Amino acid sequence: MEELFDGLLNDRLGFVVWAAVAFLILLVLLGKFAWKPIMGAIYERERSIEDALLKAEAAKEEMTRLTTENESLLKQARAERDQILKEAKQVKDHIIGEAKAAAQAEGNKIIEKAKMEINNQKAIAMADVKNQIATLSVDIAEKILRKQFADQQKQNELVTDLLKEVKLN
């Protein structure tokens, strides 16, 4: 047996056998002490990658949801802005319309007041002209009568004519 043992050590076949035995021992030692921690680390790494992928997918879905929500909020904000602008335009038009109506009414009042003032001034002027005409007429009549009554003969004729016109009952 010693020969067989020596033959195995000296021979090339012996080298292969010893290499195989060493490999099996190494394999058993690695399996017992290193394989489980390495496999655990690989499994743990695989789990962390899967978790990261799931988180990335969740983040992508959340980003899509937020983008959709932002677009919805933007559309709503635009609609509100358009509504506010429309209401502001209506208020502006209403205020302008009221101002125009008020200005028109005030203008009409001023025109009416001016017409009344003109008519009042016209009536005052006409009354003044009538008074002046009446005064002039009385002055002229007085001068004519004085001239006619200056002669006694003409006075007697006038009294006689007036008495003829008056009839007694």
- Decide if 142 is inside a domain: no
- Return d(Cα 46, Cα 40) in angstroms, integer: 10
- Decide if 93 is inside a domain: yes
Q: How far separated are the first and last CA of the chain, in Å rounded?
A: 204
- Decide if 155 is inside a domain: no
Could you list the residue range(s) of the whole structural domain that residue 84 is in?
2-124
* Residue 122 CA: distances (Å) to CA of 108, 113, 114, 119, 125: 21, 14, 12, 5, 5
- Decide if 133 is inside a domain: no
Q: What pLDDT, on the 0 to 100 scale, is given for residue 169?
A: 46
- Decide if 110 is inside a domain: yes
Please count the structural domains in the chain: 1
What b/e readout covers 50-79, taking b as 16+ CB neighbours within 10 angstroms?
eeeeeeeeeeeeeeeeeeeeeeeeeeeeee
- Decide if 158 is inside a domain: no
- Decide if 132 is inside a domain: no
For 65-107, the pLDDT digits (tens) are: 999 999 999 999 999 999 999 999 999 999 999 989 998 999 9
- Return d(Cα 121, Cα 118) in angstroms, integer: 5
Confidence of residue 139 (pLDDT cuts 50, 70, 90): confident
- Decide if 140 is inside a domain: no
